[in-house]
Amino acid sequence: MRGFSYPVLVADIGGTNCRLSLVENAQAAHRPLAKIPTGSQPTPEAALEEVLSTLTQRPRSAVLAVAGPLDGREAQLTNANWHFDGPKLGAALGLEQGLLVNDFEAQAASLAVLAKSDTTTLVEGEPDADGTRLVLGPGTGFGAGAFIRRGARGVLVPTECGHIGIGPEDLTEQKIWPALTAGLPRVTVEGLLSGDGLVRFHRAVASETGMLEADVSAADVTTLACDGDPAALMAVVCFWRLLARVAGDLALAFKATGGVYLAGGIVPRLLPLADKAAIGAVFAGKPPMEDLAARFALHVVTAGDGAEQGLAAIAAGPERFGLDDPKRLWFA
């Protein structure tokens, strides 16, 4: 299979928002169509049709990124109640062919096409151009995926790394850990490195330091920290340290010599508060594997359309990413 029939609908469907774009041909950049709240309609078919019904030219194919685990041609959002059945959705929308991917398969595919200007480097490392690349993303949840290059072809590896357990590692974390994890049935990476996790950090820091403050949103914590609020600023510092630790651990797990990329909605907004020296020390501080860890580079994806770029690349050449799989593709 050499690409999809155009125009192709591409959509990045997360637990909070659904971003839809149209790709006119294999050489064209994606054209944004709409950003709608996930769950705005009872079914994804109804939500997508509401947008597609306004177009003069409907898409012939679709590549949809879903924030949740996949089972062949079906997927379930982890943090929302939409269920996706590829062939059923395709029939409802009049599509000739389609593919469901995990949202971090899309983010991982973007690593093959992102421009240097789409990223900011936090740790230089000694990256290998052909090495495994890993993308992580704190957002509504915590996603992770890898792109393993093998010559002209590659393999996308979706994961559920956000649901692995995590504990405190240093004295600062030990001090705030009880307040940070209060009420969590299980302490996971996603529970702490997400929008809800940033709010938890703020609440825990305020509680432990006696700086009692009203509960605020993750966006509010970022704004307060940039304005110099002590509790919010310390919360962001703690969040960055834990994110650097987890990123370094996962880099070891995947041997990500091609680099680690931080994506999602939260991290780019926290960039002004990133202490590169402290982040680098935690990221690479992995005894007895310091020599290997020192090779890993750490970047932030600052482009807001990384997933859409990845989806467009998949549409143009699914075989490039090992996605020319008849068990996942569907046809009318």
Residue 35: Cβ within 10 Å count: 12
Asked if 221 and 199 touch (Cβ cutoff 8 Å), the reply is: yes
Whether the predicted pLDDT of 31 surpasses 80: yes
As a whole number, mean pLDDT of residues 257-263 equals 97
Separation of alpha carbons 99 and 102, rounded Å: 10
CATH number for the domain running over 8-110+307-331: 3.30.420.40
Range(s) within the chain of domains with CATH label 3.30.420.40: 8-110+307-331
State the Cα torsion 200-203-204-205 to the nearest 10°.
Answer: 120
Higher pLDDT, 242 or 212: 242
Which pLDDT belongs to residue 2? 62
Residue 141: Cβ within 10 Å count: 28
In this structure, of 7-16, 93-102, 205-214, 295-304, the range with the lowest mean pLDDT score is 205-214
End-to-end CA distance of the chain: 15
Averaged pLDDT of the chain: 93
Range(s) within the chain of domains with CATH label 3.40.367.20: 115-302
Which pLDDT belongs to residue 206? 86
Which pLDDT belongs to residue 178? 94
**Distances in whole angstroms, Cα of residue 26 to Cα of each of 22, 54, 106, 317:** 11, 23, 16, 9
What architecture (CATH level 2) is domain 115-302?
A: 3-Layer(aba) Sandwich (3.40)
Whether the predicted pLDDT of 1 surpasses 80: no
Whether the predicted pLDDT of 16 surpasses 90: no
The pTM assigned to this predicted structure is 0.92
Which pLDDT belongs to residue 150? 81
In this structure, of 97-101, 157-161, 258-262, 288-292, the range with the lowest mean pLDDT score is 157-161
pLDDT in tens, 179-236: 999 999 999 999 999 999 999 999 999 887 777 666 789 999 999 999 999 999 999 9
pLDDT in tens, 43-52: 999 999 999 9
**Distances in whole angstroms, Cα of residue 324 to Cα of each of 39, 157, 289, 316:** 30, 14, 37, 11
Where are the strands (E) in 53-92, listed by range? 61-66, 70-71, 74-76, 83-85
As a whole number, mean pLDDT of residues 149-178 equals 91
Which pLDDT belongs to residue 215? 75
